[in-house]
Chain A
Amino acid sequence: MSAPVEAPLAANPVEAVLRSFRMPHIWCPGCGIGTTVNCFARALEQSKLNLDKVVVVSGIGCSGRVAGYLDLDSFHTTHGRAIPFATGMKIANPKLTVVVYSGDGDLVGIGGNHFIHAARRNLDLKVICINNFTYGMTGGQMGPTTPVSALSSTTPFGCFEPGFNLPHLAESAGAVYVARWTTYHVRQLAHTMGEMLRKNGFSFLEIISPCPTLYGQRNRLGDGLAMMKHFKQQSVLRHGAPTKEVGIELQGPIAVGKFVDIERPSFLDVMNEQLGRTLEAEYAGCVKDHVPD
């Protein structure tokens, strides 16, 4: 037996991007959002990106708190407007790596319109969507991804609206990179986030995450650990699966993997091409700022 060893607490790899003075965070015990932040920190560390050029934009909600806890240039925007905010920032300063880190209700509920149009334009945003099937911060209301027959504070007799199949929505709208994992798949999450940081175009990652306090408790799914074990059992690896088939039912199997990885000219590529062709010399003066490093 060796003696207990001591290493600095500050050497935790996540500390490099964390505002430690704001800890402990407000997320409930067993919530999966912190786990995804660990994966994001590892992906950033391995990407060797200049962190001064990485921007994180969040909307409102539990996962909207991520921006506040990350020691990057991070922005906590109004409800559903993370993507419009990020769009403006990316177009104004194309050298930035813009990550949108938000929840299902914020991104495809309140901000659903922005989501589909950013995907249509193929704007170079890295969109990470924490999907916990509910509006957590406001008290567990039914959201756009709540599965049929799930209980929530606004559907006490069971949800009867079909929920969004987010990978299918993203691919149909025009995303060039679509993947889904659960918070159980931490190594895969870090790897996928790394791929997204290198990808040019609208990249979308859906992360199925436990909400033990509201969604889990109402639907009697147990605590956070029980939900994580459920993700482990129910996940089916299906790389390249047609996104139409990867919808999620209450306690049903969860298809995970990288579904879409294609190439398509991004918004800035086509904008530079079109304006350069029609305005020629007049545009050449502006375009030098619009070429990513």
Chain B
Amino acid sequence: MPEEAPPEAKKTKKVRGTVVINLARCKGCGFCIAFCPPQVLEFAEDYNPQGYHPPRLTDPDGCTGCDLCGLYCPDFAIYGIMLKNGAPPSAAREKSDES
């Protein structure tokens, strides 16, 4: 009897997006972490030059590149980009028209 694949293996996780963080600008307000839809951000343990804990991407495969963090960030320190089929990050930023 063939074994059923575990549920998580059925989903082929693709890298869909990522975030770009300007560590030096962050003031650690936590907006991006609290309101990230897939919840893939957390406070880093390290401090930035201003003495705050900037965010860190915990699960790069989970990021959808929705750019909601970029909309929330009051310090212009983070933004999300969508990646097409794991394209190199140097690819031009995809403009999202979700609003």
Chain A residues at the B interface, C-beta cutoff of 8 Å: 1-2, 4-9, 11-15, 18, 23-25, 27-35, 37-39, 42, 45-46, 184, 186-188, 190-191, 194, 223-225, 228-229
Tell me the interface secondary structure of chain B in the complex: loop
Of A2, A34, A184, A223, the contact of B76 (CB 8 Å cutoff): A34
B18 pairs with A34, CB closer than 8 A: no
Convert B64-99 into 0s and 1s, putting 1 for each residue whose CB lies closer than 8 angstroms to a CB of A: 000110111111100101010010111001010111
Interface centre among A7, A8, A14 (most CB of B within 10 A): A7
Of A9, A34, A187, A190, the contact of B74 (CB 8 Å cutoff): A34
Of A9, A29, A39, the contact of B52 (CB 8 Å cutoff): A29
The distance in angstroms between the C-alpha atoms of A105 and B27, with both chains bound, is 26
The distance in angstroms between the C-alpha atoms of A31 and B31, with both chains bound, is 10
When distances are taken between beta carbons in the complex, the residues of chain B under 8 Å from A29 are 27-29, 52
B18 pairs with A187, CB closer than 8 A: no
B74 pairs with A2, CB closer than 8 A: no
A11 pairs with B81, CB closer than 8 A: yes
- B60 → chain A closest CB, angstroms: 5
Of A1, A5, A39, the contact of B89 (CB 8 Å cutoff): A5
Interface size class of B (residues with CB under 8 A): 35 or more
Q: A32-B74, A224-B31 are in contact. Are A24 and B25 (CB under 8 A)?
A: yes
Of B35, B70, B90, the contact of A12 (CB 8 Å cutoff): B70
Chain B residues at the A interface, C-beta cutoff of 8 Å: 15, 18, 20, 22, 24-25, 27-31, 34-35, 50, 52, 57, 60-61, 67-68, 70-76, 79, 81, 83, 86, 88-90, 93, 95, 97-99
Q: What are 12 residue pairs bridging A and B, where the CB atoms are less than 8 Å apart in the complex? A: A7-B81, A7-B90, A7-B93, A9-B22, A11-B20, A11-B93, A12-B20, A27-B75, A34-B75, A38-B70, A46-B97, A223-B29
The distance in angstroms between the C-alpha atoms of A24 and B68, with both chains bound, is 21
A224 pairs with B71, CB closer than 8 A: no
Q: Which 5 A-B pairs have the closest CB atoms?
A: A34-B74, A5-B89, A29-B27, A186-B71, A12-B79
